Amino acid sequence: MDSIIVTGNGPLSGQIPIAGAKNACLTLMPATLLSEEPLTLTNAPRLSDIKTMTQLLQSLGAEVTSMQDGQVLVMSSHDIHNHTADYDIVRKMRASILVLGPMLARDGHAIVSLPGGCAIGARPVDLHLKGLEALGAEIELKEGYVHARAPKGRLQGGTYEMPFASVGATENVLMAATLAKGTSVLKNVAREPEIVDLADCLIRMGAQIEGAGTSTITVQGVDRLGGATHPVVTDRIELGTYMLAPAICGGEVELLGGRLDLVRAFVEKLDMAGVDVRETDNGLLVKRRVDRIQAVDVVTEPFPGFPTDLQAQMMALLCTAEGTSVLEEKIFENRFMHAPELIRMGAQIDVQGGQATVVGVDRLKGARVMATDLRASVSLILAGLAAEGETIVSRVYHLDRGYEHVVGKLESVGAKIERVQGS
Ligand code: EPZ
pLDDT digits (tens, 9 = 90+) for 105-149: 999 999 999 987 677 777 789 999 999 999 999 999 999 999 999
Q: Three-state SS for 139?
A: strand
Q: What is the pTM of this model?
A: 0.97
Give the per-residue pLDDT at 163.
96
pLDDT at residue 106 in the model: 96
Separation of CA 253 from chain center: 23
Q: Which of 48, 170, 237, 309 to mutate to test the pocket of ligand 1 (most atoms within 8 A of CB)?
A: 309
pLDDT for 423 equals 57
Q: Give me the pLDDT at residue 309, please.
A: 98
Are 312 and 306 a contacting pair, CB within 8 Å? no
Instruction: Report the pLDDT value the prediction gives residue 123, as an integer from 0 to 100.
Output: 74
Residue-level pLDDT at 191 = 98
- Establish whether residue 125 lines the binding site of ligand 1, counting it when its CB lies within 6 angstroms of any ligand atom: yes
In degrees, to the nearest 5, what angle opens at C-alpha 326 toward C-alphas 401 and 347? 70
**Cβ(330) – ligand 1 distance below 6 Å:** no
Measured in Å, residue 25 CA sits from the centre of ligand 1 at: 15
Classify residue 385 as exposed, middle or buried by CB count within 10 Å of its CB (0-12, 13-18, 19+): buried
Cis peptide before 304 (omega within 30 of 0): yes
170 lines ligand 1 (CB under 6 A): no
CA of 341 to the centre of ligand 1 (A): 23
Ligand 1 atom with least separation from CA of 375: 22
Contact 131 CB / ligand 1 (< 6 Å) = no
Cα distance between residue 61 and residue 12, in whole Å: 46
Q: Using a 6 Å cutoff on CB, does residue 128 contact ligand 1?
A: yes
The residues facing 121 across adjacent strands are 118
Hey, what domains does the chain have and what are their CATH numbers?
Answer: 3-19+235-420 (3.65.10.10), 22-231 (3.65.10.10)
In a 3-state reduction of DSSP, which class is residue 83? coil
- Out of 48, 328, 331, give the residue to mutate to test ligand 1, the one with the largest number of ligand atoms within 8 Å of its CB: 331
Question: Which residues touch 320 (CB under 8 Å, ≥6 apart)?
Answer: 248, 292, 293, 360, 361, 362, 363, 364, 386
122 Cα: distance to centroid of ligand 1 (angstroms): 10
Which residue's alpha carbon is at the smallest distance from atom 32 of ligand 1? 167
CA-proximal residue: ligand 1, atom 30 (nearest): 124
From the alpha carbon of 190, which atom of ligand 1 is closest? 24
- Looking at residue 391, its pLDDT comes to 98
> How, if at all, do strands 39-42 and 228-231 pair?
parallel
Say what the pLDDT of residue 198 is.
98
* DSSP H or E run through 209: strand 208-210
Residue 249: active-site member: no
Q: Point out the residues of the chain with pLDDT beneath 70.
A: 117, 423
